[in-house]
Amino acid sequence: EEKMIKAGIIGATGYAGGELVRILANHREVEIVWYGSRSYIDKKYCEVYQNMFRIVEDVCKDDNLAELAEQVDVIFTATPQGFLAGVLTEEILSKVKIVDLSADYRIKDVKVYEKWYGTTHKSPQFIQEAVYGLCEVNRNRITEATRLVANPGCYTTCSILTAYPLVKEGLIDVDTLIVDAKSGTSGAGRGAKVPNLFCEVNENIKAYGVASHRHTPEIEEQLGYAGNCEVVINFTPHLVPMNRGILVTEYAKLKRKADGSLPSWEEIRAAYDRYYKEEKFVRVLEKGVCPETKWVEGSNYVDINFVIDERTGRIIMMGALDNLVKGAAGQAVQNMNLLFGLKESEGLELVPCFP
């Protein structure tokens, strides 16, 4: 019989790490053997997350990547920016596959990374090798030969997938693209910070990282590859008082046809269908139905739709996903499935939960 894939998680007690544990608990091919957490070493995992009582019996271990690499087939690093880049070596990568949920290897231009993240990259030699793990776009590059996957950001996954077919097909003028996004507070992580306290967040909505959010260059770079052009966008995220979910609303001018008319609804829909009809986790909704975060919560789905505004010549594209699943842990498991030649949806057949 097939032997189980052994997995280690560093950052297992953060929100994305906890979601990895939840998803992998129901994965037929994987067992977690290392729950790494700098904050809770030697504490039982189920004491940190009581939902795992009698499901996970293990205690938390440290974040020693070199030691972990000797014991597992795949490592998930659900860690702050800079952690993996600071400890990754060729020796480690020669032994184990890594799916990194941080931004350390997402951006191919190290100067762009260093500018937006305000830090020096400690291991730029691995950037070119890392595959950007947006499965619906890069699936054929995420193979068993891959050693390092840069798992995309949550805003980024939603923003890219929502516009990707239209950028790829040249149906919109990318210079006019504006991405307005809203996220639940789990996106800010589990660290104790005053701006994330209940009283600060509840009954409130605010924009943050305006004209400076770190996911901007990631969206620009990936849509630039799609359109084979330079992409410069406005991206504005907002914090919304809910636990999970991202909704993006994107605006762009449609490219007019030779006769001056706009592309029809049918033409735009056909472009989406060309890329997403066979995609299990991208649901392009029926005409007139707008995506809502509650219809994807707890699942690996992205719901997408669009409206053409004839009056202004613009298209309004919308996308919704669960920032902890398709925006983080679910996508990481999707990548792992591709890395090991498993069925891509294994462990991810999660029906959105409502209410």
142 and 131 Cβ atoms separated by less than 8 Å = yes
As annotated, the active-site residues are 154
Mapped onto helix, strand or coil, the DSSP state of residue 132 is strand
| Residue ranges with strand state E in 1-93 | 5-10, 30-36, 74-77
Report the C-alpha gap between 162 and 349 in whole angstroms. 22
The dihedral of CA 334, 336, 340, 342: what is its sign?
A: negative
Report the C-alpha gap between 236 and 80 in whole angstroms. 22
Report the C-alpha gap between 96 and 85 in whole angstroms. 16
Length of the chain: 355
Token representation of residue 63: 């974040």
254 and 314 Cβ atoms separated by less than 8 Å = yes
For tokens 């069925």, the residue is 343
Name residue 264's amino acid: S
